[in-house]
Amino acid sequence: MNNQAIQEKVSTAEEMGFGVKIDAEDLLLDIKYLIKAYYCATLTSDKNTMKMNFDNGQSFLLKVEES
């Protein structure tokens, strides 16, 4: 897919009213839902951060902030 096609899709999405902004906390909740759907892990979150402890012993800290 070339850049022109991507720009056209973005414009179409905005025209259809999908240009709604989300905040970091909402995005983190969406990511949490996806992680739970595909991985075996214990997830704990606080406002803009989420700690992920996977069953294989790995752990990650994810911080989401708008730039």
For 4-15, the pLDDT digits (tens) are: 555 555 566 667
Confidence of residue 21 (pLDDT cuts 50, 70, 90): confident
Q: What is the pLDDT of residue 17?
A: 67
Higher pLDDT, 13 or 38: 38
pTM of the shown model = 0.64
For residue 35, give every residue at least 6 positions away whose Cβ sits within 8 Å of its Cβ, in sequence order, or none: 41, 43, 52
